[in-house]
A = this chain, B = another copy of it.
Amino acid sequence: MNSKPISATISDVAAHAGVSIATVSRVLNGTTPVQAEKAERVKRAVAELNFVPRPAARTLASRKTNTIGLVFSEIRGAFFPHLLKGIESQLHEAGYELLVYSTHSDRPIKRKPIGEHNTDGLLVFTTSLDKEEIARLYQINFPIILMHETPPAGMDIPVITVENKDGAVMLVDHLITHGRRRIVFLRGPDGHEDSQWRERGYREALAAHDIPFDETLVSSGEFDQETAYQSLKKLIHNGVDFDAVFAGDDDAAIGVYRALKEANRLIPDDVAVVGFDDVDFAGYISPPLTTVRAPIEEVGREAVRQLLSLLNGEQAQSLVLKRTELVIRESCGCLKHS
């Protein structure tokens, strides 16, 4: 009967190998050269006792958690698995752990759930952390990377995002080039950077073709299927005249499709529809959705890379913009129906 309730500790290994715990630590971490023969004994002991160092003890002693945190506001959205995959793979490759946190607005935040005590650095997606908390972390010089959100004024926090404005310009320009004039734009959630840039692109493309901006064509889509559906329904009900819809993102485009079909308006004959993101299903809805491809998995990977730079004391790039790419399918009407 084993008296030791829990698994081996560094002392067990040390005893078993006939060395001090300091030496064990050294061969484990390779911090200091150790006599070959002793190192061998230690390794054997580690294997035999099936020793795994407790991260908690390590963290306490070294003041490094070896963990980074991912914070986001809402898991919704078809792009999420790609983002997570990019982050996860890149991060674990570098030997870090991933702590995941979603900041529902409805959840009462008792004790600070994630921060310096928890992690060595943070990956923050859109507006999931409030300005004050970001400011606080910035003050104490805590490594942060923002994804799809620019930092509050005066703070030099690295950002990684996609060419939202360019993408929107491509989309809207394409629509206009093919004869559309009254283009609805469905905004994303309030304060969402992606949406703001996309709107800017929308306006620029309009301006470039001397089409005046019309406030009545802009409504709320929230990057959400249901909201987009409701908004478009209301526009139709109000008799607003339009011949195209830039849905804000692909999820919202789904809602647009639904509203249009209910109103018996043909896509793209009566109304052209375009989305943003190029999520998995975009090419398979009917008609296939013209959209802009956002390299979201790459955003995740890049964010991790930059964060790792910060953790290694190197400088991070203050802004990385991933290129977007127009994906023309059938919903914009410029390809023949199949």
Chain A residues close to B by CB (< 8 Å)? 6-7, 52-57, 59-60, 63, 65, 67, 75-78, 80-82, 84-85, 88-89, 92-93, 97-102, 104, 107, 111-113, 115-118, 140, 225, 251, 254, 257-258, 261, 280-281, 284-287, 338
Closest-CB distance, A74 to chain B (whole angstroms) = 8
Complex Cα gap A56–B281 (Å): 43
Assess A81 versus B85: contact at CB under 8 Å? Given A52-B115, A55-B118, A284-B285.
no
B85 and A117 contact, CB distance less than 8 A: no
Complex Cα gap A154–B287 (Å): 51
A53 and B280 contact, CB distance less than 8 A: no
Which of A6, A78, A258, A284 has the largest number of chain B CB atoms within 10 A? Answer: A284
Complex Cα gap A254–B280 (Å): 10
Complex Cα gap A80–B63 (Å): 34
B81 and A77 contact, CB distance less than 8 A: yes
B101 and A99 contact, CB distance less than 8 A: no
Complex Cα gap A308–B59 (Å): 26
Assess A52 versus B117: contact at CB under 8 Å? Given A75-B81, A75-B85, A92-B107.
yes
B52 and A56 contact, CB distance less than 8 A: no
Chain B residues, CB < 8 A from A257: 284
Chain B residues, CB < 8 A from A225: 280
Q: From B7, B53, B93, B117, give the contact of A107 (CB < 8 A).
A: B93
Closest-CB distance, A290 to chain B (whole angstroms) = 15
Assess A117 versus B53: contact at CB under 8 Å? Given A88-B100, A284-B257.
yes
Report 21 cross-chain contacts, Cβ distance below 8 Å, ordered by A residue.
A6-B63, A7-B140, A52-B117, A55-B56, A55-B118, A56-B56, A67-B99, A75-B81, A75-B84, A80-B80, A84-B84, A92-B102, A97-B118, A251-B280, A254-B281, A261-B338, A281-B284, A284-B285, A285-B285, A285-B286, A286-B287
